[in-house]
């Protein structure tokens, strides 16, 4: 019995000794730390990432949209496709739900602040050409010592991008890259609110409009605004962009310019031995003005832009808008089925099928004005009145190329002229019952002023029969309802 007792006591002592030895190897309990620490250097909403000197801010919004009598999400007018044809395949109601998430980080260094910014959207759309779920990466860039690398707002653009006061993504009449563009840019601050930027920007996704080979124009393509085969080549040189901007208490003034290479593939698209026209350069210039502290009320503002381009129509029409437009309506001429207005934007036009009879690129001119007046009735209600006017002008050589091909295919009486203009005016009223929760309603009128005249015999196009059609200006209304919660 004594032996068993001694064995038990010895075992307990051994276990205690081993446990003590292991306990001695454990680190001491860490002192309590403030894991969520506010970073006030860069404004509200920033926190230190634990264990670092980097500050981070998470934000975004959730948005529900309904477009009424349009052709796409975000109040796209019924100016193309089934909606423009006003047939029974058109969806008069288009819905989109979106969640936006953005991540902003800042780190102070001896070279200045290092910033990264990421913004992505998750969308579900019904009734639109892109119906279903989609993911969009709007911004993803690094800023360091005045440089910006990645996908960010173009240095050509304004702080309000394509939204001087509107909800719609389809107020054309100026540059619009709200979804960002890949770039390498440098911005210098000169003091007193004056800054200057220079940038190399990738034109492949947003800034290449159509480059028409009018030899490929078809009888069914022409009345949809397709003035030939679009024959842009790959990007050889990025767009070169410069900007000078003045920010003051009264508002903002900015002048931007861009050089854009216009480079065709081949006279016969799939045959490199057919040759190609010589590369040429287009350009765009923009002046922007924003006025604040207006006598109409606190927070009111006026935002205006005026843009001109030669061989660079995307700087005028905008990156998210269609390149071609076609709207049908009624006609009062006996024997004529309906009326039609159409237009197609392009950076330039050429003709030819081989290197013997090919022609040089004839560049297109475009100009536009766009703006809005934004008024706050009180802290809860606000209204914006917005509008734009955009003109696409094919010169005499380009017109001869397009119309020469068109008249050889389509019989009619009248004048062929591919020039056109689009006027838009609209208003939106917003109600913010609580902070960062806004309900809004928008209505917009769009007028397509085409320059074709007379009556033409068109072939069957989609649901439209082969018949006589009158060239006639057209207009459409569209509306939008939106609920947005920002955080």
CA distance 178 to 160: 9
| Residue pLDDT, tens place only, 440-463 | 999 999 999 999 999 999 999 999
Please state the three-class secondary structure of 379-424 as a single string.
CCEEEEEEEEEEEEECCHHHHHHHHHHHHHHCCEEEECCCCEEEEE
Tell me which DSSP letter residue 222 carries. G
- Is the predicted pLDDT of residue 11 greater than 70, yes or no? no
- Look at residue 27 and tell me if it is in a domain: no
Q: Are 418 and 212 in contact (CB under 8 A)?
A: no
Residue keyed to tokens 């207009």? 475
- Look at residue 50 and tell me if it is in a domain: no
Q: Which of 321, 369, 78 is nearest to 206 (CA)?
A: 321
| Residue pLDDT, tens place only, 92-143 | 899 999 999 999 999 999 989 999 999 999 999 998 777 799 999 999 999 9
CB crowding 335-347: b at 16 or more within 10 Å, else e: ebbbbbbbbbbbb
Q: Which of 190, 184, 180, 312 is nearest to 257 (CA)?
A: 312
- Look at residue 35 and tell me if it is in a domain: no
The domain tally of the chain equals: 1
> Where residue 224 falls among pLDDT bands split at 50, 70, 90?
very high
Residue keyed to tokens 């309000």? 160
Domain encompassing residue 144: 58-486
- For the chain, the C-alpha Rg in angstroms (whole number) is 30
- Look at residue 411 and tell me if it is in a domain: yes
- Look at residue 51 and tell me if it is in a domain: no
| Residue pLDDT, tens place only, 28-78 | 443 444 568 999 999 999 999 998 999 999 999 999 999 988 888 889 999
pLDDT at 30: 39
- Look at residue 473 and tell me if it is in a domain: yes
- Percentage of the chain beyond pLDDT 70 is 92
CA distance 480 to 286: 29
Q: Kindly write down the DSSP assignment for every residue of 431-467, as one continuous string.
A: EEEETTEEEEEEEEEEEEEE--EEEEEEPPBTTBPSE
Tell me which DSSP letter residue 332 carries. -
- Is the predicted pLDDT of residue 385 greater than 60, yes or no? yes
| Residue pLDDT, tens place only, 303-321 | 999 999 999 999 999 766 6
Q: Are 221 and 215 in contact (CB under 8 A)?
A: no
Q: Are 47 and 38 in contact (CB under 8 A)?
A: yes
pLDDT at 177: 80
Instruction: Indicate which CATH number applies to the domain containing 320.
Output: 2.40.160.10
Burial class (CB in 10 A: 0-12, 13-18, 19+), 53: exposed
- Look at residue 371 and tell me if it is in a domain: yes
pLDDT at 2: 45
Residue keyed to tokens 């931007």? 256
Residue keyed to tokens 């696409």? 392
CA distance 456 to 472: 11
351, two tokens: 């003709």
Q: Are 452 and 33 in contact (CB under 8 A)?
A: no
3-state secondary structure (DSSP) of residue 162: coil
- Look at residue 324 and tell me if it is in a domain: yes
3-state secondary structure (DSSP) of residue 147: strand
C-alpha dihedral over 218, 424, 207, 79, to 10 degrees? -30
Going 190 to 191 to 192 to 193, the CA torsion angle's sign is: positive
């Amino acid at each position: 019995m004594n032996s068993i007792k001694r064995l038990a006591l010895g075992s307990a002592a051994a276990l205690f000794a081993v446990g003590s030895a292991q306990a001695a190897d454990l680190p001491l309990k860490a002192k309590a730390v403030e894991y969520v620490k506010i970073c006030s250097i860069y404004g509200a909403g920033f926190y230190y990432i634990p264990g670092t000197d980097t500050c981070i801010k998470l934000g975004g919004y959730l948005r529900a949209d309904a477009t009424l009598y349009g052709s796409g999400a975000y109040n796209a007018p019924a100016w193309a496709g089934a909606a423009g044809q006003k047939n029974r395949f058109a969806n008069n109601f288009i819905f989109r739900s979106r969640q936006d998430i953005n991540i902003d980080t800042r780190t102070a260094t001896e070279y200045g602040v290092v910033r990264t910014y990421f913004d992505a959207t998750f969308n579900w759309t019904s009734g639109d050409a892109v119906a279903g779920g989609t993911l969009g990466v709007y911004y993803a860039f690094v800023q360091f010592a005045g440089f910006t690398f990645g996908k960010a707002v173009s240095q050509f653009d304004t702080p309000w991008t394509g939204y001087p006061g509107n909800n719609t993504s389809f107020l054309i009449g100026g540059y619009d890259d709200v979804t960002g563009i890949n770039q390498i840019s440098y911005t210098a601050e000169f003091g007193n609110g004056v800054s200057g930027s220079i940038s190399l920007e990738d034109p492949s996704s947003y800034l290449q409009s159509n480059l028409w080979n009018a030899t490929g124009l078809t009888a069914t393509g022409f009345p949809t605004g397709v003035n030939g085969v679009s024959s842009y080549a790959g990007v050889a040189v990025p767009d070169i962009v410069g900007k000078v901007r003045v920010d003051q208490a009264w508002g903002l003034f900015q002048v931007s310019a861009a050089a854009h290479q216009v480079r065709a593939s081949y006279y016969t698209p799939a045959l490199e031995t057919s040759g190609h026209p010589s590369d040429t350069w287009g350009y765009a210039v923009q002046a922007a003005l924003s006025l604040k502290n207006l006598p109409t009320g606190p927070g009111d503002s006026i935002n205006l832009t005026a843009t001109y381009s030669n061989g660079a129509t995307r700087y005028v029409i905008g990156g998210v808008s269609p390149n071609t437009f076609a709207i049908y309506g009624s006609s009062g001429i006996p024997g004529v089925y309906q009326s039609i207005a159409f237009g197609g934007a392009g950076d330039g036009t050429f003709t030819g099928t081989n290197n013997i009879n090919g022609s040089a690129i004839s560049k297109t001119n475009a100009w536009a004005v766009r703006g809005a007046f934004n008024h706050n009735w009180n802290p809860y209600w606000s209204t914006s009145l917005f509008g734009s006017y955009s003109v696409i002008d094919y010169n005499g050589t380009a017109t001869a190329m397009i119309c020469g091909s068109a008249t050889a295919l389509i019989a009619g009486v009248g004048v062929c002229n591919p020039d056109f203009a689009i006027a838009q005016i609209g208003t939106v009223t917003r109600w913010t019952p609580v902070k960062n929760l806004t309900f809004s309603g928008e209505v917009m009128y769009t007028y397509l002023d085409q320059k074709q005249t007379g009556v033409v015999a068109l072939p069957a196009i989609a649901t439209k029969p082969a018949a006589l059609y009158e060239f006639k200006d057209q207009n459409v209304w569209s509306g939008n309802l939106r609920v947005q919660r920002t955080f």
